[in-house]
């Protein structure tokens, strides 16, 4: 964009809006600054923080990237619930105007109206940010210079426009820009909750706590991603030496998956009988019940590649990039000759019901539907999804021709729990090369582990063995694990649950 009008710096600081009904705090530990700085020096890119919000917002996520290790870019994307900004409340462009008003005067905003809702926002120590909107995808972006392109420009191969130069990569610069970005994000969030119908919003914490992941996350792309790095990250490279005997209980689910393994390896039998092997399996049930393990066992038994895809792997700060990344994953699977399982963990975050999703998410769901429909003539690709909430998956995916198999993976019953204990004990014995467990009263153990899932049991076994190791390290001579050891560990164990804030969202920490 040329001939951009000069913007008078009105404020030395983009401090968060003070509102009696909204407050927000954030934490950026010093070690996180160090970690992100080192990652950017190595040309890393990644998602720093992801928050699931309450109505009228859907989520907030922050990215960082560096293409050359000498400069860097930051972006904060605020995604509202689409239906919250129709009609009387106006659209997302209106919200960007309101946010810009909080730090710029009316005259400066008027000069920039021809840029379609993009504004330059001054911050501390000379920092500047661009606030821009994608009014098709209902996405508001605050970045160090690049603004969102629309779909027709992306399809034409154009990169996102840049209104400001990328900041020089120094630790001081990084800390200044990161804190200012979070301040602006807080200010913008407050504006979304400023309407009368959204009063009484409590104080969440925006905690930058996963920056170290940038070192291994070059595929988290703000712009055009490195697809080779994406495939490398999601593909489980080592051979999966797993069998159905590694899954405790779940007899019905295992029977179906064993049949699926046979069909996946022998599609010609289906052809012989004038039909095709189904292309999708949806595993659903409570957390920690072994859904991911069973998907890996299926891949191992079918001698298939295993691509483990999470929402964060394809999430992008730029309009259209998530759909493109998803398409690239399927294209890569089609090009390979080996059987491939594309596994979508927590698929409800990737493909929620479109009636409740913002437009960007709707496009991702549409892309997934299209790609699965395109597998009808591909005999070497199987899509497997896992979810704790089947109602949270778009209904079109659960229709015939997509996820034909819907397999429930429930909490283990008493017999299954003892099988899971046996599996983890056997593996521990094999690893140590000796017998680690003595006589166990399994009836007692079963009574104390009601409502435990497979992950809980694995953690109990790990903890009881860890305690034995600690005893030996302190000069003791511990005996084999007995019933009392297990019961004591079980009683001191609290099953893991997601951390919830008063604000009503989950925080990745």
User: Within a 13 Å sphere around the CA of 430, how many CA atoms are in the beta-carbon half?
Assistant: 6
Pair 34, 92 in one domain: yes
- How many structural domains compose the chain? 3
Q: For residue 333, give the nearest of 194, 441, 231 by alpha carbon.
A: 231
pLDDT 10s per residue in the chain (509 long)?
A: 333 333 333 233 334 444 445 666 677 777 778 888 888 888 777 777 777 677 777 778 888 888 888 999 998 888 887 666 544 344 677 777 778 877 776 555 555 544 556 788 887 778 889 888 775 556 788 999 877 765 555 556 566 678 888 999 999 999 999 989 988 888 888 888 776 555 545 445 566 654 433 333 333 333 334 556 677 778 886 677 888 888 888 888 888 898 888 988 888 898 888 888 888 999 998 888 888 899 999 999 998 989 988 877 776 545 566 777 888 888 888 877 788 999 998 888 888 887 765 666 777 888 888 888 888 777 888 999 999 888 888 888 888 778 888 889 888 888 898 999 999 999 999 999 999 999 999 999 988 888 888 888 988 999 999 998 999 898 888 899 999 999 999 988 876 544 433 333 333 33
323, 421: one domain: no
Domain with 439 in it: 414-491
Residue 10 CA to residue 388 CA, distance in Å, equals 49
Residues 398 and 418 occupy one common structural domain? no
Other C-beta atoms within 10 Å of 506: how many? 12
Inside any domain, residue 373: yes
C-beta separation of 31 from 212 below 8 A: no
How far, in Å, CA of 46 to CA of 312, rounded?
9
Which contacts of 475-482 are long-range, i.e. CB under 8 A and separated by 24 or more positions?
479/438, 480/435, 480/436, 480/437, 480/438, 481/436, 481/437, 481/438, 481/440, 482/438, 482/439, 482/440
Indicate the pairing of strand 73-80 with strand 25-27: unpaired
**pLDDT reported for residue 77:** 86
Judgement on whether residues 440 and 361 belong to the same structural domain of the protein: no
126 torsion bin: left (phi>0), alpha (psi -120 to 50), beta (else)? left
CA 84 remoteness from chain centre? 24
- What span, in angstroms and rounded, lies between the C-alpha atoms of 356 and 325? 23
The pair of three-digit structure tokens given for residue 472, joined into one six-digit string: 């030996």
Same domain, 364 and 421: no
- Interatomic CA distance for residues 285 and 289, integer angstroms: 7
Contact assessment for residue 290 and residue 333, using Cβ atoms and an 8 Å cutoff: no
460 occurs within a structural domain: yes
Final residue belonging to a domain, choices 218, 247, 262: 218
User: 173, 188, 218 — which closes off a domain?
Assistant: 218
Pair (402, 354) in one structural domain: yes
Compute the distance between CA of residue 146 and CA of residue 160 in angstroms, rounded to an integer. 6
User: Are 451 and 379 within one domain?
Assistant: no
Residue 49 inside a domain? The answer is yes
**Domain stops at, among 374, 393, 408:** 408
CATH number for the domain spanning 248: value is: 3.40.50.300
Considering the domain boundaries, does residue 377 fall inside one? yes
How many other CB atoms sit within 10 Å of the CB of residue 268?
9
Q: Within a domain: residue 7? A: no
- Helix ranges (DSSP H) in 102-241: 106-111, 151-155, 171-192, 227-234
Q: Which two tokens stand for residue 43?
A: 């040309």
CB 378: neighbour CB atoms within 10 A?
15
Q: Identify whether residues 370 and 468 lie together within a single domain.
A: no
What is the rounded distance in angstroms from the CA atom of residue 29 to the CA atom of residue 509?
12
Indicate whether 6 belongs to any domain: no
Q: Is residue 10 part of a domain?
A: no
Same domain, 92 and 130: yes
User: What tokens appear for 509 in the block?
Assistant: 């920490």
Q: Is residue 506 part of a domain?
A: no
| Structure tokens, 399 | 């229709």
424 with 465, same domain: the answer is: yes
Round to whole Å and give the CA distance between 320 and 308: 21
Q: What CATH number is associated with residue 451?
A: 1.10.8.60
In this predicted structure, what is the pLDDT of residue 437?
A: 93
pLDDT of residue 65: 83
What CA–CA distance (Å, rounded) separates 463 from 493?
A: 9
> In terms of Cα–Cα distance, which of 303, 266, 397 is closest to 344?
397
Residues 112, 149 share a domain: yes
Same domain, 419 and 404: no
Closest by alpha carbon to 434, among 475, 467, 480? 480
């Amino acid at each position: 964009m040329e001939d951009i009008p000069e913007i008078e710096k009105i404020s030395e600081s983009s401090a968060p809006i003070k509102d009696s009904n909204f407050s927000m705090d954030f934490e950026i530990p010093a070690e996180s600054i160090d970690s992100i700085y080192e990652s950017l020096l190595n040309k890393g890119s990644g998602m720093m923080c992801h928050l699931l919000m309450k109505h009228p917002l859907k989520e907030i996520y922050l990215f960082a990237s560096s293409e050359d290790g000498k400069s860097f870019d930051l972006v904060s994307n605020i995604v509202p619930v689409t239906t919250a900004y129709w009609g009387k409340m106006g659209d997302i462009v209106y919200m960007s105007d309101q946010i810009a008003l909080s730090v710029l005067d009316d005259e400066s905003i008027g000069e920039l109206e021809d840029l379609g809702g993009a504004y330059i926002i001054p911050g501390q120590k000379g920092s500047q940010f661009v606030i821009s909107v994608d009014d098709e995808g209902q996405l508001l972006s605050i970045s160090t210079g690049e603004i969102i392109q629309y779909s027709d420009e992306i399809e034409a191969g154009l990169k996102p426009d840049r209104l400001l130069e990328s900041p020089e990569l120094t630790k001081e610069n990084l800390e200044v820009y990161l804190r200012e970005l979070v301040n602006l994000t807080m200010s913008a969030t407050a504006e979304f909750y400023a309407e009368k119908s959204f009063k009484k919003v409590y104080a969440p914490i925006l905690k930058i706590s996963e920056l170290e992941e940038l070192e291994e996350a070059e595929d988290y792309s703000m712009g055009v991603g490195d697809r080779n790095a994406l495939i490398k990250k999601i593909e489980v490279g080592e051979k999966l030496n797993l069998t159905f005997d590694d899954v405790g209980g779940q007899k019905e689910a295992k029977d179906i998956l064993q049949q699926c393994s046979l069909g996946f390896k022998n599609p010609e039998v289906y052809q012989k009988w004038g039909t095709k092997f189904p292309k999708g399996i949806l595993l659903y049930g409570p957390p920690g019940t072994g859904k991911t393990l069973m998907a890996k066992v299926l891949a191992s038994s079918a001698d298939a590649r295993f691509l483990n895809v999470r929402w964060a792997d394809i999430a992008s700060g730029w309009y259209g990039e998530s759909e493109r990344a998803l398409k690239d994953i399927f294209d890569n699977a089609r090009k390979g000759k080996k059987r491939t399982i594309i596994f979508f963990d927590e698929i409800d975050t990737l493909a929620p019901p479109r009636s409740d999703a913002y437009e960007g998410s709707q496009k991702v769901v549409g892309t997934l539907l299209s790609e699965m429909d395109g597998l009808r003539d591909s005999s070497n690709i199987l899509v497997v999804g896992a979810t704790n909430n089947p109602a949270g998956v778009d209904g079109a995916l659960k229709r015939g021709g997509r996820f034909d198999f819907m397999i429930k993976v429930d909490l283990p019953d008493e017999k299954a729990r003892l099988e899971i204990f046996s599996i983890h004990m056997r593996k521990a014995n094999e690893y140590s090369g000796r017998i680690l467990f003595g006589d166990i009263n399994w009836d007692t153990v079963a009574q104390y582990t009601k409502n435990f899932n497979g992950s809980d049991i694995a953690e109990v076994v790990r903890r009881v063995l860890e305690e034995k190791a600690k005893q030996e390290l302190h000069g003791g001579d511990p005996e084999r694990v007995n019933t009392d050891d297990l019961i004591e560990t079980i009683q001191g164990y609290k099953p893991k649950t997601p951390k919830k804030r008063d604000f009503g969202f989950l925080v990745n920490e």
